Amino acid sequence: MSGLVAGTGSIGGSPMVNFTPPPPPVPFPGRPNVYVPSAWNNVQLPAPPVARAAPSPLMALPPGSSGYSVQHLQYAAQRERWAQMAHRPPPAETISLEISAVFEAGGKKKNARSNNIGSICEGLKDIDAQSTAYELASIALRTVVPRIKAYYPSFGWRENEFIVRDTKWVDLMRHSSAQLYFYGDCLNASNRKNSKAVVFKTKQFGLFVIVPEAQWEQFEVFRDKLEPPSPEPTRSRRVSRQPLHPATSPLSPARTFSQSDTVPTVLTPSVVSQSTSSSEPPMPLFLSNGWAASTASSSVFERLISEDIIGNNDTTNTTAVKRHHRHTSSTSNGSISYPPQKKHLGNVFSSPNRDQLKEALQSGGACEFDVKKVFRQNIMQVDFYPIPVCNLDELIRTKMAFDIKTAELFSGNIRLDRSTDAILGVGAFKTAQSAQLTLSPLTRSGMGSSPNYEIVLKRPYINNFPDEPAGPPFSRFTLKDESNILYCEANVLYWAKALLKMTYEFIDHAIDSAKEPPPFDIPHLRFVDAGLLLAYSNALATTEEGGLPSVKTSAVVSMMYLGEELIPTPSDGEVFVKYIHNGDAAPCDLLDPDTENIAQFLAFTQHVQYVKTGGQVYISDYQGNDALLTDPQILTHPSVGRGQRLFSDGNVQKGVELFKEQHICNEFCKWAGFRLSPFRITID
């Protein structure tokens, strides 16, 4: 039948189709040819015939693959591919961060986004997109704070005051929500038709680590004290010199200065001459990076200008140079050699003034050791518990007062004068005495950040005659009563700092959200750094050793102080200003316009605190100078205490009830950006 040709009749005029049947099956010798491996049977069987496979670019069919085609060759690769896809986890959902360090400032630098600190900007990839606001703030601080400290290591940066905001100026550190902060911004609608699914697409987000304005102003004052301002740019001067040792100098004659070689006059004032050309533009001084500018670009010599001029034999003065300014040589073909410069004679020697010398000898020669002053000094071992600045949200969440059990502890000593000369002032309830605090280890900033840190020690006293001026000797409370009084004072300061911090956060948020800035400046005030000091003294104690009593000395707490940052005394002698009395919402009448403006601002802070706390609490008894405040009082509504004594005896609860009647809104309260409802408005 192999030669048979089959056909079908034509239907509808379609042509006849001829085909050749497949080849007949190969007859087996008597039974199916099944190949059994030799490991299964000791009988050696003949190998099956090799099947012919179609050519393939991948591989040939294995022997004995009857019934399979070339399409089956990719089965193993396809199976492995789909198996990997089935067991592969979805791609990680990550984002990128760009973290910048900026500072807050007033005036023209109000926009903190552009106030970069030393061009500090860090980029981070592969950040978990499901991070919360608190986790993102921690990442930003952990990344940028070391860079800020390295920017100026000698300054005591208080990183606990730093703020982390996003590009919308939302404070991430106060964002208490546990939701995924940036995750929702990365979800986008799918591009597939008629699909309502959302897909994740990675994005980059910006964060700002902000140094508060008060701390930045302290840093600028600190920096100005260490680094005097750079001199104003002057006209370029030309340096003309010849090597002092032509035979041995490593500088060849071709290394002379050309007309295009210029250096600032502040670098080598003894060897420069004023240019006679008045048409040359002034050359800027690049003092920040340590290089002197030059109008010609060339390789930089490794020798200082001072070494080229005076030689390098004397190296005693080179280490005292703060910035090593280098110069460049010109590659211009038109360089000109100049004649040698005159030898610098140095400063002119002059004899001291006879009359001034006589007065100095009369005063300085009559030295007398004040033994009594030295013997009045007393050094006491202390434990220092600083009062931190916390967010009001944290105090609401923890519902705790200031507690030394959870506060940070520093050990050290205080040096104080036991005489009445060390008394700085006497108030209605406390005395203030100067002292020096030395801690080990030193604190990062604030009180105790340097040895012999000037502080004020405050102790309560018993005022037996309230109508008369108090003076030494002072009657003191027992240690138990004294400790309770000072503990309450520390807790008042603890809550006052949190309330004032909340007030400034409200102000910052309102100003940032307003279309126009306020028509007035915001005073920047803070409460003094403070903490509790537990002083120890040696006392005899009886112990049992081996069944026998023995007497030993032991350090026990003998007294307690409230230590505060020393408020600088102005030259005019006016130390404190009472801005607002306790229990009275009306500010004091002050003659000075600046102090009057601060008093009005502090009255405005009471308005903010009253409104934002639902009329429950605000700060009173504001006093201090134009930057630091001290001895505040916390006033609460009678419904809060319900007859219980809260904070201290200065908590005049009646003042909160009468606040709406006594408070007079001023220009701060009436600014539309703050959106405060007026209570009473004066008639202009």
Below-70 pLDDT ranges, the chain: 1-68, 70, 85-91, 107-110, 228-346, 371, 540-553, 570-575, 680-684
Spans of all domains in the chain: 92-223
Q: What element of type H or E holds 364?
A: helix 354-365
Report whether 506 contacts 517 (CB < 8 A).
no
User: Among residues 269, 266, 297, 295, which one has the least CA distance to residue 283?
Assistant: 295
Helices marked H in 21-168:
75-87, 133-151
pLDDT for the residue numbered 30: 54
pLDDT of residue 368: 75
CA atoms lying within 13 Å on the CB side of residue 171: 18
439-451: buried (b, 16+ CB within 10 Å) or exposed (e) per residue? beeebebbbbeee
In the chain, count H helices and then E strands: 13, 22
Compute the CA torsion angle 598, 604, 606, 607 (nearest 10 deg). Answer: 170
> pLDDT value at position 618?
95
604: nearest Cα among 652, 520, 669? 669
- Identify the H or E element spanning 494: helix 479-513
**How many residues in the chain?**
684
Output the pLDDT for position 340. 59
* pLDDT of the residue at 268: 40
The secondary structure of 173-221 as a DSSP string is: GG----S-TTTGGGEEE-SSTT---EEE---EEEEEEEE-HHHHHHHHH
Cβ atoms of residues 271 and 239 within 8 Å? yes
Residue 465: per-residue pLDDT = 79
Strand partners, 539: 554
Q: How many CB atoms lie within 10 A of CB 181?
A: 23
- Residue 38's pLDDT is 52
Residue position matching structure tokens 């005394």: 569
